[in-house]
């Protein structure tokens, strides 16, 4: 009968049957190699079997290991909690207790060289995916509203970050999450703290801080899951792991890398003294610039006001009015002179016309006549043509002499 055979409420399987079928199915898996981190070692004196817990460094998953006590005691160096190992064993399901364990026949400690090689391979993988690209780095806020801090409980790193940040900006506020920073539980706790702080809108920057340590101690900060979580954070992340020579992979993924927790405390907030001095300098520069501009404009106004047209605005008008008066008088005199001259000429011409005209002569009782044609109606051309003592008759029409003829009646 297969494990997947159908059952019904009328024909259920007993517990022993289910346990036996699970054991039979697991026994067919064969032996496998598994890598993980040792978290618990139970080695009782005189006991033939030792029990261990093998934990996944990147997830909250563990597996029970069983091995012979003799094999465990012969290991050099001895296994300790947090050791990275590769084990060879066969999955076993204990029917009586209903538990699964891995029966181990070989345990190999992962050496520093192997760990470094794995870190290097992961480094190349993450770099190829662009997680180290400087274009992905986000700038830190000038003055964060609240700083998230992920660090060990009561650690020197926490003290350094808090002290230096508060010295620079006393009003800074922190949202602290204390987690394990080494060992098998470090990565899951750090991931949980990161996720929680990243979801808080008031947190503007997150600091990962840890003091120095060995390569094994800093392994959690080169974990692939942690690196990807830091890369996926919406909030800028500052990495302050270890000392200057230490360079875990999270340093390359974070937005800002600080060599020490002390440097992180100085990096996330500005220095209030420096900012106050900068404000004073900018205020002095603004004051000098404003005074300079006012002085320059005042000099320009003084120069404009010193010009004659602005110093005495009525003067040019008076000068122009005087010029207009002079020109008007000259025009009046010239016109009067011209009129008088023409009047005198007209008077002279009138006098000549009056003197030479017949009206004046007639007014004096004299006439000047002229015979136009001899024998033609007796019209004389000139008075001289008339014999002396001849009386003349002058025909005047409209004031003009039409003819002069002898007065025969006389």
Q: Would you write out the chain's pLDDT as a tens digit for each of its 410 residues?
A: 455 556 677 788 888 888 888 888 888 888 888 888 888 888 888 888 888 888 887 667 888 888 888 888 888 778 877 778 888 888 888 887 788 888 888 888 776 667 777 788 888 999 999 999 999 999 999 999 999 999 998 889 999 999 999 999 999 999 999 998 887 788 899 999 999 999 999 999 999 999 887 777 788 898 899 999 999 999 999 999 987 777 889 999 999 999 899 999 999 999 999 999 999 999 999 999 999 999 999 999 888 888 877 777 788 888 889 999 999 999 999 999 999 999 999 999 888 887 777 676 666 666 555 545 444 444 444 555 556 555 656 555 555 555 555 555 54
Residue the block writes with tokens 């750090």: 190
Among candidate residues 110, 128, 145, the one where a domain is terminated: 110
Q: What pLDDT is attached to residue 4?
A: 54
Same domain, yes or no, for 186 and 151?
Answer: yes
Torsion, CA 197, CA 199, CA 201, CA 204, rounded to 10:
40
Contact 156, 260 (CB under 8 A): no
Residue 149 is assigned to a structural domain of this protein? yes
Structure tokens at 262: 């002390």
User: What domain range is 58 assigned to?
Assistant: 15-110
Same domain, yes or no, for 243 and 282?
Answer: no
Kindly report the length of the chain.
Answer: 410
Same domain, yes or no, for 135 and 203?
Answer: yes
> Based on the structure, what is the number of domains in the chain?
4
User: HEC string of the chain?
Assistant: CCCCCCCCCCCCCCHHHHHHHHHHHHHCCCCEEEEEEEEEEECCCCCCEEEEEEECCCCCCEEEEEEEHHHHHCCCCCCCCCCEEEEEEEEEEECCCCEEEEEEEEEEECCHHHHHHHHHHHHHHHHHCCCCCHHHCCCCCCCCCCEEEEECCCCHHHHHHHHHHHHHCCCCCEEEEECCCCCCCHHHHHHHHHHHHHCCCCCCEEEEEECCCCCCCCHHHHCHHHHHHHHHCCCCEEEEECCCCCCCHHHHHCCEECCCHHHHHHHCCCCHHHHHHHHHHHHHHHHHHHHHHHHHHHHHHHHHHHCHHHHCCHHHHHHHHHHHHHHHHHHHHHHHHHHHHHHHHHHHHHHHHHHHCHHHHHHCCCCCCECECCCCCCCEECHHHCCCCCCEEEEEECCEEEEEEECCCC
Same domain, yes or no, for 257 and 138?
Answer: yes
Own/partner long-range contacts of 132-138 (Cβ < 8 Å, ≥24 apart): 132/252, 132/253, 136/231, 137/255, 137/256, 138/236, 138/255
Calpha distance 245→366 (Å, rounded): 152
Residue 152 is assigned to a structural domain of this protein? yes
Residue 261 is assigned to a structural domain of this protein? yes
* CATH number (domain holding residue 169): 3.40.50.261
Residue 221 is assigned to a structural domain of this protein? yes
Residue 258 is assigned to a structural domain of this protein? yes
* CATH number (domain holding residue 98): 2.40.50.140
Same domain, yes or no, for 136 and 222?
Answer: yes
Q: What pLDDT is attached to residue 198?
A: 94
Same domain, yes or no, for 150 and 218?
Answer: yes
Residue 156 is assigned to a structural domain of this protein? yes
Same domain, yes or no, for 265 and 178?
Answer: yes
Calpha distance 105→34 (Å, rounded): 12
Same domain, yes or no, for 39 and 106?
Answer: yes
Residue 150 is assigned to a structural domain of this protein? yes
Same domain, yes or no, for 187 and 233?
Answer: yes
Same domain, yes or no, for 21 and 100?
Answer: yes
Calpha distance 297→388 (Å, rounded): 109
Residues 6+ apart with CB under 8 A from 240: 157, 161, 207, 208, 209, 210, 257, 258, 259, 260, 261, 263, 264
Among candidate residues 110, 138, 165, the one where a domain is terminated: 110
Same domain, yes or no, for 156 and 265?
Answer: yes
Same domain, yes or no, for 73 and 121?
Answer: no
Start-to-end CA span in the chain (Å): 194
Residue 79 is assigned to a structural domain of this protein? yes
Among candidate residues 90, 110, 130, the one where a domain is terminated: 110
């Amino acid at each position: 009968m297969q494990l997947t055979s159908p059952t019904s409420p009328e024909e259920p399987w007993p517990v022993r049957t289910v346990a036996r079928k699970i054991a039979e199915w697991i026994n067919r898996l064969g032996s496998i190699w598994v890598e993980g981190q040792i978290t618990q070692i139970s080695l009782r004196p005189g006991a033939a079997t030792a029990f261990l817990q093998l934990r996944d460094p990147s997830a909250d998953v563990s597996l029970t290991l069983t091995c012979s006590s003799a094999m465990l005691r012969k290991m050099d160096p001895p296994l300790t909690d947090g050791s990275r190992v590769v084990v060879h064993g066969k999955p076993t399901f204990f029917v009586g207790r209903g538990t699964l364990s891995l029966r181990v026949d070989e345990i190999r400690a992962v050496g520093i060289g192997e760990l470094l090689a794995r870190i290097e391979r992961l480094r190349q993988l993450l770099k190829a995916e662009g997680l180290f690209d400087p274009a992905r780095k986000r700038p830190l806020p000038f003055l964060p509203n609240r700083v998230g801090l992920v660090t060990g409980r009561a650690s020197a790193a926490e003290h350094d970050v808090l002290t230096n940040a508060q010295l620079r900006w006393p009003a800074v506020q922190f949202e602290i999450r204390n987690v394990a920073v080494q060992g098998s539980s470090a990565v899951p706790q750090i991931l949980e703290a990161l996720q929680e702080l990243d979801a808080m809108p008031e947190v503007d920057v997150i600091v990962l801080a840890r003091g120095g340590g060995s390569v094994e101690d800093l392994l959690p900060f080169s974990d692939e899951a942690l690196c990807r979580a830091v890369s996926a954070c919406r909030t800028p992340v500052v990495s302050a792991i270890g000392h200057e020579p230490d360079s875990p992979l999270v340093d390359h993924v974070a937005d800002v890398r600080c060599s020490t927790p002390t440097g992180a405390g100085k990096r996330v907030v500005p220095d209030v003294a420096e900012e106050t001095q900068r404000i004073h300098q900018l205020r002095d520069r603004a004051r000098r610039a404003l005074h300079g501009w006012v002085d320059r404009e005042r000099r320009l106004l003084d120069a404009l006001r010193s010009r004659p047209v602005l110093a005495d605005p009525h003067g040019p008008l008076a000068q122009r009015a005087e010029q207009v008066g002079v020109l008007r008088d000259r025009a009046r005199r010239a016109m009067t002179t011209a009129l008088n001259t023409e009047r005198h000429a007209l008077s002279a011409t009138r006098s000549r016309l009056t003197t030479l005209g017949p009206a004046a002569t007639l007014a004096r009782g004299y006439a000047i006549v002229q015979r136009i044609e001899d024998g033609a109606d007796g019209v004389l051309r000139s008075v001289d043509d008339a014999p002396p003592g001849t009386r003349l008759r002058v025909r005047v029409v409209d004031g003009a002499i039409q003819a002069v003829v002898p007065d025969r009646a006389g």
